[in-house]
Structure 1
């Protein structure tokens, strides 16, 4: 039976080394990003995932970890594809990672952005141990529908955090800004979360996940 996000028994516990290692990461990453990029940077859903994964690891919440797997798995994979392709060919097939090759960006900022490769692994390991919560899609969608409007209201438009002012980091002028924002809120769960959710359900149905 699903645990509705509550910790599992002892046989499902996450290793202490994983919790401590990720805590050490947050203690270094969070203040560094705040100094280099400002606290508005935390509005990025992938940055928010760092904190929520930390909470999920220590509470061993199946729901919270499953939610963040939806948030980071596909995004991290696409980020890696864009950076890797640009590194090899100089072309960004998706876009949004140009800052990784911008010499005006602090090297430390770019190095810390490699967490996009780490978060899917950490969340994936935790889900493998705790199991996947099928309610994660609804919960993560609800969280996204709170974060995206908050981003639009409280962050600088030129930063285009969560692409609330245009896709792939670029401003858009074709659509009314509010209409675009609503479309973004609808498409984000469908394009980013749903494929991972369906994959996790498929794995769970075949006994590969708890």
Structure 2
């Protein structure tokens, strides 16, 4: 791509960079490093990479992975705001033990989907995103399941996340009990692919899929026939 003609506004790059320059150290201090293993945080970092490289794959991966979950986050937040409990994704947004500033940073969940749609529209949708994000998302699930605190763990600092990416159920205070834990993990990973990733991939591919370059016309078709030798 010609560096003199970027496809993305410099102002947008600077605004997102400034937000991350604030959010990353604050999150690290208050939530710890494992918080950056959440799907949404990984997607935000991928968006940052796509902004500055102007490569479609990072933006496409993030869009496949979190467009639908972020819609659920917004719906859950509005539900909690009006005292309607849906799935409990945003309960921490109403935790008085967390500062308004810290909770305010989490509103990136609301604007990140619009940023991703803008990026994919400008850069095009890379069809490798489904496989790439699925591999990344499943890897994050396995790391959270085998190496990070499960639901119900009581930590000295209650802001440190447990049950990252909901690999033990949707209630951070108690692991789910309707399936054996390994079977639930397998069902959760399969459900992510079938319910979230594949529909997003199909829609994005239809709307913004990169068009393959047209095949060049064979030179022989444009060559004037040579007269037969006598």
The bucket for the TM-score relative to the shorter chain is 0.7 to 0.9
Q: What residue number does 2:165 align with?
A: 162
Check conservation: 2:149, 2:163, Cα contact below 8 A. yes
Paired residues in the alignment total: 199
For structure 2, the 5+ residue unaligned runs are: 154-161, 212-230
Q: What residue number does 2:89 align with?
A: 96
In the aligned structure 2, how far is the partner of 1:189 from the partner of 1:11?
A: 36
Check conservation: 2:120, 2:208, Cα contact below 8 A. no
Higher helix proportion, which one?
1
- Which shows bigger deviation, 76-85 or 162-171? 162-171
- The yes-or-no answer on 1:31 pairing with 2:25 is yes
Counting only pairs closer than 5 Å after superposition, residues 180-199 of structure 1 correspond to structure 2 as 180-199=184-203
Q: What residue number does 1:117 align with?
A: 110
Question: Higher Cα Rg: structure 1 or 2?
Answer: 2
- Which shows bigger deviation, 101-110 or 35-44? 101-110
In the aligned structure 2, how far is the partner of 1:129 from the partner of 1:100?
A: 32
Check conservation: 1:165, 1:181, Cα contact below 8 A. yes
User: TM-score normalized by structure 1?
Assistant: 0.86
In the aligned structure 1, how far is the partner of 2:35 from the partner of 2:6?
A: 34
Deviations 1:135-181 (A, max 9, x none): 21111111112111011122211311100111354521222211111
Check conservation: 2:65, 2:137, Cα contact below 8 A. no
Check conservation: 2:87, 2:170, Cα contact below 8 A. no
Which of 48, 63, 74 lines up with 2:42 in the alignment?
48
Deviations 1:166-197 (A, max 9, x none): 13545212222111111111111211222221
For structure 1, the 5+ residue unaligned runs are: 1-6
Deviations 1:48-78 (A, max 9, x none): 1121111121111111110101222111111
1:121 Cα deviation (Å)? 1.5
Which of 53, 61, 76 lines up with 1:59 in the alignment?
53
1:108 Cα deviation (Å)? 2.2
Give the SS at the match of 2:101: helix
Q: Which runs of 4+ in 1 moved over 4 A?
A: 7-12
Q: What residue number does 1:175 align with?
A: 179
Counting only pairs closer than 5 Å after superposition, residues 72-83 of structure 1 correspond to structure 2 as 72-83=66-77
Indicate the structure whose relative CO is greater, using CA pairs within 8 Å and at least 6 residues apart. Answer: 1
In the aligned structure 1, how far is the partner of 2:146 from the partner of 2:139?
A: 11
User: TM-score normalized by structure 2?
Assistant: 0.79
